[in-house]
Structure 1
Amino acid sequence: MALPDLDTKTLPPIKHAERFEFGDDNWIAAAHAFLEPRVAEHANELNGKRLVVQETYPNAPPHLNQPDNILNLHYIFDSSALTLGHGPVDNPTIHMQADYNLGHIVNATIYEVIPGRQARIMRELNHRHGKVFDIKTSERPPEVMGKIFAGIHDHLARRIVSNPNVDHRVKHLGVAQHLDELDTQGYTVVENAISHEFADELAADLHRLFEENENSRRVASMLLARGPLWQELAVHPLVHTIAQKMLGADCNMGQSLGFSKPKGLDTHQLHNDPPHPLTGELCCNVTTIWALEDFTETSGSTLVVPGSHKQNCQPAADAACETQKILMPKGSVAMWHGSLWHGAAIRADDGERISIHNTYLRNWIRTFDDYLTIDPEVLANNAPAITTLAGVDDIYMKNTIAGPDNRRYQ
């Protein structure tokens, strides 16, 4: 029996074998393969010109086997001769330096084809961490370099996987405390995770999506598939790292939902998030709620019962008297263990509170959202992390009546 037509299913844009880590040997080979024909094409313009570029990334993961865990990359253009490799060089024309895990965020973001994304990613990176990149230039590069380097960033970013050493990311992104709080109290709050500007951009786009929903002007679903802002939020480096540590590096996006909460409406009684509490002590679900405005005593904030995730059962009948409100400023995100008893307070303020719920699941748990038919352009315009969150590149749900369809898992 022939395999059925795959037109309705989305294929991974980059096969597993074609992916690599930022700065590893395969990255070097891919960069060289991209640049070499362009150097040959512009050989006449390069004649007599020299450019030496060095990029330095301290705190690289140990498995990259770089001296003192400092990743040095260099490009040397000497007329039409190209040298690209590891290690420092003398007297670089351009020398750029950043912490490996922070620099990775930019290097693994496709932005040349997404208007405004580069500026937004840099704004958010600097908002969280201060100035990240230090760039020194001794002279202006030859103009021809713009032609040679055009497109290389996205070409490589499309293939760069997240640093697979999740513990290394936990340490260097500074999220260990949040993991401790998730373990002890079942929830944590990352304040100032995004800028007020990004919160406003998300809110504006959410209102647009509300208007597109003819069934409900208060809900927008399947956000991962609905624009660059939502894809950037899904792989927020702090939040995604915490989720991967809790659920595995191959976790999926279970649900991505925008919600508007009016005054006086009782929206959520105390509950666990599926599949909890049926999984015992194993965490299978981490839910986030993003504050696009301040979460206050009267705004209708999330309610939690601290420590209740350790009971592995549905909320007790009298649990409401044990709840606490999660209060956090605009731009923050709260995260909780799926077994935590939680709900929502009734909003007393006038107007509506809008927020975003992103739920991460272990990759063998059934998801609420179905991204197996996601627009291929979404995956092509993002690093493999989005393909993995969408569940497109794992082994699950890839069988057909003719057997496993290996074209969808390579």
Structure 2
Amino acid sequence: MNASQLDRHLAAIDDQGFTIVENAIEPALLDEIRSEVRRTEEERGSAPRGNPAEGYATLRNYNLLAKGAAFQKLPVHESVLPIAERMLDEGCLLSGMTSMHIGPGEKLQPLHADDGMMGLPRPHVPLMCVTMWAFTDFTEDNGATRYVPGSHKFDHAPDYSKEYETLPAEMPAGSILIFDGSLWHGGGANCTESDWRLGVHVQFCAGWARTQQNAYLGIPPEVARTFPDRLLELCGYSLYKGIMGHIDGTSPGAILGEERMAETAYASRRMESMADEAGAQTLREKFGVGDEPGP
């Protein structure tokens, strides 16, 4: 994605709350993720969870980074990460990854905003960047995500007892819907007889916020050690603004081993980008942030 395309998508999100990036997913990746989702569903014996939020005819699998190496490619993909970094800053975190396989007969999901649990007055600056990856065509009939344009600017949350006019995010397989976490949206009804709609939900949040899915406990350390550096940072194995999230003054990457900690520690350069050298030195002296690990 070049600079002008990035600016165009960001402007659309700011204005309407969403954008669609077409032809974003490479054909090989499309096939790979479809196969991995099917494998995960079969191995786990996935079944609908049977509630209005998660659906009565929808197969969901959470914490995908723990379920297959192929899923590592999505959060750091060039079509989404630059947008998330511009919306939230480079210290953003991966909040969660979930496959959402909507089957025939599924009903409308209640409208909601993904950042609704954060409890801040609305409207507010973006706290979440949400992406929905289309691994099949998304149509109005098979359950395309529905949304209310501009609702990220509303001063209130949706009332579950009311009906609102929505639009379907229709898009061909290989596209990615990207939206502000405040946008009112919900899964669509699947009115077909046999057409399953497969999407993967990849959600980012501000680096200071609590993530929806707990990567530290949900992803085994031996799996996390296989991640590229940027993905480790997105999973929280780094410091936010040089200090937030530290363990005894060092990067949380330390729990993966000393060498890995050094690769993910951002303390020194992030502190110095947010404060002058004197202020950064004060933080080093007080907390030991940015120091080399001791014996």
Query: Aligning the two structures, in what range does the TM-score lie when normalised by the shorter sequence?
Result: 0.7 to 0.9
The structure whose Rg is larger is 1
CA distance in 2: counterparts of 1:254 and 1:382, whole angstroms: 16
Q: Which residue of 2 aligns with 1:171?
A: 3
Contact 2:245 2:251 in 1 (8 A): no
User: Over the residues paired in the alignment, what is the CA RMSD in angstroms?
Assistant: 2.3
Q: Which residue of 2 aligns with 1:371?
A: 215
Query: What does the per-residue CA deviation read over 1:192-236, in whole Å, with 9 as the maximum and x for residues that have no partner?
Result: 101333212111100111122246372211112332321111111
CA distance in 1: counterparts of 2:244 and 2:93, whole angstroms: 11
Contact 2:238 2:252 in 1 (8 A): yes
Q: How does 1:141-180 map to 2 (within 5 A)?
A: 171=3, 174-180=5-11
Pair 215,299 (structure 1): closer, same or farther in 2 beyond 3 Å: closer
Q: 2:84 is matched with which residue: 239, 243, 248?
A: 243
CA distance in 1: counterparts of 2:71 and 2:230, whole angstroms: 13
Contact 1:170 1:241 in 2 (8 A): no
SS in 1 for 2:216: coil
SS in 2 for 1:175: helix
Q: Which residue of 1 aligns with 2:127?
A: 284
Q: Which residue of 2 aligns with 1:355?
A: 199
CA distance in 1: counterparts of 2:18 and 2:212, whole angstroms: 22
Q: 1:306 is matched with which residue: 135, 149, 163?
A: 149
1:313 Cα shift?
1.7
CA distance in 2: counterparts of 1:356 and 1:383, whole angstroms: 20
Q: 2:70 is matched with which residue: 210, 213, 229?
A: 229
Identity of aligned residues (%): 32
Pair 225,296 (structure 1): closer, same or farther in 2 beyond 3 Å: same
Which TM-score applies when normalising by structure 1? 0.54
Pair 214,176 (structure 1): closer, same or farther in 2 beyond 3 Å: same
Contact 2:245 2:252 in 1 (8 A): no
- More strand, by proportion: 1
1:170 Cα shift?
6.0
SS in 1 for 2:237: coil
Q: Which residue of 2 aligns with 1:383?
A: 228
Q: Which residue of 2 aligns with 1:208?
A: 39
Q: How does 1:31-110 map to 2 (within 5 A)?
A: none
Q: 2:176 is matched with which residue: 323, 326, 333?
A: 333
CA distance in 1: counterparts of 2:145 and 2:234, whole angstroms: 25
What runs of 5+ residues in structure 2 fail to find an aligned partner?
49-58, 254-264, 266-295
Contact 1:371 1:392 in 2 (8 A): no
1:317 Cα shift?
6.3
Contact 1:193 1:331 in 2 (8 A): yes
What runs of 5+ residues in structure 1 fail to find an aligned partner?
1-168
CA distance in 2: counterparts of 1:398 and 1:407, whole angstroms: 5
Query: What does the per-residue CA deviation read over 1:55-109, in whole Å, with 9 as the maximum and x for residues that have no partner?
Result: xxxxxxxxxxxxxxxxxxxxxxxxxxxxxxxxxxxxxxxxxxxxxxxxxxxxxxx
Q: 2:102 is matched with which residue: 261, 274, 296?
A: 261
1:405 Cα shift?
5.7
CA distance in 2: counterparts of 1:208 and 1:396, whole angstroms: 37
Alignment size in residue pairs: 237
1:319 Cα shift?
6.6
CA distance in 1: counterparts of 2:29 and 2:234, whole angstroms: 22
Query: What does the per-residue CA deviation read over 1:5-60, in whole Å, with 9 as the maximum and x for residues that have no partner?
Result: xxxxxxxxxxxxxxxxxxxxxxxxxxxxxxxxxxxxxxxxxxxxxxxxxxxxxxxx
Q: Which residue of 1 aligns with 2:269?
A: none
Contact 1:303 1:325 in 2 (8 A): yes
Query: More displaced, 206-215 or 311-320?
Result: 311-320
